[in-house]
């Protein structure tokens, strides 16, 4: 769910210039690279800081002296995990008279590193870094920081409920629709039963149940929607729409806030909106990730399938499933996405072939499959491992390996810290190795924030959904009673007169 952006780290004027991980010609750092495809995104160096870097690794003399065209092997392997111990060992080998401690301290007089590792061909394409999100005040047009609640210039609220105009138009369109359906219902089934026109394509709609339901729903919409307190997520969606041209970064931020708080049925639409925004600002990979999530979602063809059912009577569940699986197949064969799953024969999680079978056991279909863009293989593996880890020692070992090598992190709720903490490779709190840890979640660096949120959701559960369901049910019953009552008395009279005058 989160962004594929480079990390920002401070620039240490003493350490960075002599660090293996520093790439001077683009002023970036390999040590804090973010997993990505085709190459990791190198961290962006920001303001100068004298704080020692935890991942500092000095360039050894031998390396600096290497020929410029030497294959940069080390860079391809995970540079984030260069252990200071290794550096010390190297340093001791090459210059035995230098005490090992010195290497970690300030090796100021080492010569400037030269070319071998700075070949720009092997450096990740510029990291998509988000621009600054700013809220444009609707009243005075002033720009405000993304976190402000009120305009700094005119004090107007920056997150608005639906406008009166929008509410009034919803009210009237709902009322008109209810009147129209109610009229059809009355005309064809109460006044002249059996007079409904015999048009096959309209048959699914022109029956008393559908018409009655449409009337009731339109009526409820007309009453409930304009009167309701605008749900918080709708406010964010509206502000996102307003900022698409003004400031797409604000638009993105608002769509993402909406995704966090919107009910499940809205998630598909929000994902689509975010994909469009990503495409607009050129975040190709993030857009691809959202499009893939949409295409492989369980609800991908639900709307279409319901329409098919309405017209042909075909089972909508079967239809949606077959459309979805053929779409997934097309995507897998295009190579734009990979399937990752658990093979019960290997007892391991791996990247599957294009038909979702284990590459070693071509007859075994993978289980708990996740579809990912090629840049997200580790994240995909984590998602599968998370689901199957329990009781599968080989998968647990695979996971531990990812944790040890720093390709993934484990987070969990430590009962002693009373907080979500990063765990060690044995899934224990680093401060309280004996404390019980609940709701362990695994994530790659760019997903840590999302993993934290998942843990909080697991802790608290979701209660808001239930209240909303009760509210809608009550509104439905009241509206139905009102409607029945109205039909008995006045409305039938009004329609009668209308019909009479029309003749
Ligand atoms: Zn203002
Ligand atoms: Zn296998
Ligand atoms: Zn703890």
Please, what are the averages of pLDDT over each run of 10 residues along the chain (503 residues)?
A: 62 82 73 64 77 76 42 40 40 40 40 39 51 92 93 92 84 92 87 77 77 90 84 93 94 94 90 93 90 87 79 81 90 92 94 94 94 93 93 93 94 92 93 92 90 86 58 72 62 58 53
**Separation CA 255–CA 274 (nearest Å):** 7
State the ligand closest to the CA atom of 350: 2
- Give pLDDT, residue 131: 87
Is residue 420 classed exposed, middle or buried when 0-12, 13-18 and 19+ CB atoms within 10 A define those classes?
A: buried
Q: How far is the CA of 178 from the centre of ligand 3 (A)?
A: 59
Centroid of ligand 1 to alpha carbon of 135 (angstroms): 10
Residue-level pLDDT at 22: 79
- Among the bound ligands, the one closest to the CA of 143: 1
Nearest ligand to the C-alpha of residue 157?
1
Ligand nearest to the CA of 429: 3
Q: Please report whether residue 321 resides in a domain.
A: no
Record the pTM: 0.57
Q: What is the DSSP string of 360-424?
A: SSTTSBPEEEEEE-GGGHHHHHHHHHHHH-TT-HHHHHHHHHHHHTTSSEEEEEETTTTEEEEE-
Q: Which ligand is nearest to the CA of 360?
A: 2
Q: Is 468 exposed, middle or buried (0-12, 13-18, 19+ CB in 10 A)?
A: exposed
From the CA of 351, how far away is ligand 1's center (Å)? 52
Shortest-distance ligand to the CA of residue 155: 1
CB 382 within 8 A of CB 400: no
pLDDT at 298: 81
- Is 376:289 a contact under the CB 8 Å cutoff? yes
Q: From CA 44, how far away is CA 58, in angstroms rounded? A: 19
The answer to whether residue 364 sits within a structural domain is yes
Tell me the C-alpha distance between 454 and 418, whole Å: 16
pLDDT at position 64, please? 41
Domain endpoint, select from 55, 88, 119: 119
CA of 431 to the centre of ligand 3 (A): 5
Q: Residues lining ligand 1 (ion), CB within 5 A?
A: 137, 139-140, 142, 151, 153-154, 156
The answer as to whether 295 is a domain residue is no
pLDDT of residue 35: 61
402 belongs to a structural domain: yes
Q: How many residues does the chain have?
A: 503
What per-residue string of b and e applies to 473-483 under the rule 16 or more CB within 10 Å gives b?
A: eeeeeebeeeb
Q: How far is ligand 3, taken at its centre, from the CA of residue 386, in Å? A: 21
Are 300 and 327 in contact by the 8 Å Cβ rule? The answer is yes
In-domain check, residue 199: no
Q: Which two tokens stand for residue 48?
A: 């100068």
Residue 428 is assigned to a structural domain of this protein: no
Closest ligand (CA of 421)? 3
Which of 350, 372, 407 is where one domain is finished? 407
CA dist 343 and 357 (Å) reads 8
Q: Ligand nearest 432 Cα, by number? A: 3
Q: Is residue 67 part of a domain?
A: yes
Is-contact 382 443, C-beta < 8 A? yes
80 assigned to some structural domain: yes
Spatial separation of the C-alpha atoms in residues 485 and 239, rounded to whole Å: 40
Count of structural domains within the chain: 2
Domain termination residue (choose one: 351, 383, 407): 407
435 alpha carbon – ligand 3 mean position (Å): 7
- Ligand 1 centroid–CA 136 distance in Å is 8
Q: Where in the sequence is the domain holding 391, given as residue range(s)?
A: 337-407
Give me Rg for the CA atoms of the chain.
30
Quick one: which of 97, 87, 78 has its CA closest to 36? 78
d(CA 94, CA 312): 78
């Amino acid at each position: 769910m989160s962004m594929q952006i480079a990390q920002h780290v401070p620039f240490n004027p003493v350490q960075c210039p002599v660090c293996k991980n520093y790439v001077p010609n683009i002023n970036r750092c390999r040590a804090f690279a973010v997993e990505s495809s085709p190459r990791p995104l190198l961290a962006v160096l920001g303001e100068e800081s004298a704080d020692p870097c935890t991942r500092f690794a000095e360039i050894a003399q031998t390396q600096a002296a290497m020929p410029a065209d030497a294959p940069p092997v080390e860079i391809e392997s995970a540079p984030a995990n260069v252990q200071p111990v290794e550096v010390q060992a190297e340093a001791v080998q090459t210059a035995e008279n230098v005490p090992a401690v010195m290497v970690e301290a300030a090796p100021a007089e080492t010569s400037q590193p030269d070319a071998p590792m700075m070949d720009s061909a092997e450096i990740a394409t510029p990291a998509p870094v988000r621009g600054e999100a700013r809220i444009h005040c609707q009243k005075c047009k002033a720009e405000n920081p993304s976190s402000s609640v009120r305009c700094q210039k005119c004090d107007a609220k920056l997150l608005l409920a639906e406008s009166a105009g929008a509410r009034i138009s919803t009210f009237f369109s709902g009322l008109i629709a209810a009147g129209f359906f109610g009229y059809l219902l009355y005309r064809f089934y109460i006044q002249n039963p059996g007079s409904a026109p015999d048009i096959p394509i309209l048959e699914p709609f022109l029956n008393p149940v559908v018409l009655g339901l449409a009337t009731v729903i339109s009526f409820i919409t007309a009453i409930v929607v304009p009167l309701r307190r605008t749900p918080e997520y709708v406010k964010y969606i509206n502000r996102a729409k307003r900022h698409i041209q003004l400031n797409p970064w604000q638009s993105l931020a608002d769509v993402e806030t909406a995704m966090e708080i919107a009910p499940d049925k809205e998630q598909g639409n929000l994902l689509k909106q975010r994909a469009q925004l990503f495409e607009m600002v050129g975040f190709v990979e993030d857009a691809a990730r959202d499009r893939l999530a949409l295409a492989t979602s369980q609800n991908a063809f639900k709307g279409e399938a319901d329409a098919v059912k309405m017209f042909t009577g075909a089972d909508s569940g079967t239809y949606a499933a077959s459309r979805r699986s053929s779409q997934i197949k097309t995507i897998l064969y295009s190579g734009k996405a990979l399937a990752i799953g658990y093979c019960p024969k290997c007892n391991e999680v791996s990247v599957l072939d294009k038909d979702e079978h284990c590459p070693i056991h071509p007859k075994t279909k993978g289980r708990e499959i996740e579809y990912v863009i090629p840049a997200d293989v580790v994240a995909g593996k984590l998602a599968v491992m998370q689901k199957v880890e329990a009781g599968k020692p080989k998968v647990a070992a695979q996971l531990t390996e990812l944790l040890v090598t720093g390709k993934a992190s484990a987070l969990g709720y430590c009962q002693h810290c009373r907080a979500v903490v990063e765990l060690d490779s044995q899934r224990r709190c680093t401060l309280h190795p004996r404390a019980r840890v609940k709701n362990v979640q695994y994530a790659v660096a760019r997903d840590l924030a999302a993993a934290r949120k998942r843990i909080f959701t697991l802790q608290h559960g979701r209660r808001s959904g239930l209240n909303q369901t009760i509210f809608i049910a009550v509104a439905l019953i009241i509206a139905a009673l009102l409607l029945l009552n109205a039909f008995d008395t006045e409305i039938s009279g009004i329609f009668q007169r209308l019909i009479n005058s029309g003749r």
